[in-house]
Structure 1
């Protein structure tokens, strides 16, 4: 609203930020870092309430949501590297996320051309591609499953 962009360009951010924060909390919880999850939750909710005070805070918030999104994706990558097993991670789901980032880059270029938003989606596109490649690399092949049995 501060930048007078069309409503569709900023309405999704609260949902995306919350989604990435929840993913990050689940990863921290299931890796045994519950104390870190509680600290991050407090910081997240505190910053969320401060967000609406000034225009410059919106700029910082956009950079922070890039950091939060990148952190959740980086932790997913770290887990994939550590276990060397894609487990239940879906290459199709992450592929759709990659496609969404690519389309958002295009729509941002066509509607606002906002550099901060473009950087965010380019970073997310690269990390999503990396996750897709890691899932494909570490997924179990049929012959691997037979060896386990």
Structure 2
């Protein structure tokens, strides 16, 4: 039972990247909380499916990843760049689906606006604190794609006609 849609691997890579380069704690404080939230969610899912021990491989993978990421600088940088690529591919897949169906009824415009806003604030805080080019590129790419998805959602939004 893989975890889908949460991105705990991305949270882990981003947290480890920021720890590895010794960036200020306030620039990545939410990632430990998000990871803990995902671990609790994972344990709850396995608990309610009757087998908590099936979570052990995921937790082992998490712990092993934490140490493997910091073995070499190139591993850390590669993992961060792959996370950016995977996130971009995910947003592009969303765009393709919207173009294909020409229906954005199941997509929240507010969610994409908030995602765009988050990227803008991350760009600003990164410029003010670390000026890390890898992180800046990540958030600029994510901002562009979030805005593109938002525009596509607005374009294919159906107007509701009220009956009198």
TM over 0.5: yes
- Distance in 1, matches of 2:100 and 2:154, equals 15
Q: Which residue matches 1:141? A: 159
Q: Which runs of 5+ in 1 are unaligned?
A: 20-44
Q: Which residue matches 2:70? A: 52
Q: Which residue matches 1:116? A: 134
Aligned pair count? 117
- Distance in 1, matches of 2:31 and 2:72, equals 17
Q: Which residue matches 1:33? A: none
- Distance in 2, matches of 1:107 and 1:9, equals 8
How far apart are residue 9 of structure 1 and its match?
Answer: 2.9
How far apart are residue 13 of structure 1 and its match?
Answer: 5.6
- Distance in 1, matches of 2:152 and 2:118, equals 19
Residue 107 in structure 1 maps to residue 129 in structure 2 = no
Deviation readout 1:10-38 (Å, 9 max, x if unpaired): 4556859xx9xxxxxxxxxxxxxxxxxxx
- Distance in 2, matches of 1:10 and 1:64, equals 19
Instruction: Compute the TM-score of the two structures, normalised by the length of structure 2.
Output: 0.63
Alignment equivalent of 2:105, drawn from 87, 94, 99: 87
Alignment equivalent of 1:78, drawn from 89, 93, 96: 96
How far apart are residue 142 of structure 1 and its match?
Answer: 2.0
- Distance in 1, matches of 2:79 and 2:28, equals 12
- Secondary structure in structure 1 of the residue aligned to 2:20: coil
Q: Which residue matches 1:24? A: none
Pairwise CA RMSD: 2.5
Q: Which residue matches 2:10? A: none
Q: Which residue matches 1:6? A: 24
Q: Which runs of 5+ in 2 are unaligned?
A: 1-18, 39-60
How far apart are residue 141 of structure 1 and its match?
Answer: 1.2
Instruction: Compute the TM-score of the two structures, normalised by the length of structure 1.
Output: 0.69
| Compared CA separation, residues 70 and 13, structure 1 to 2 (3 A) | farther
Bigger radius of gyration: 2
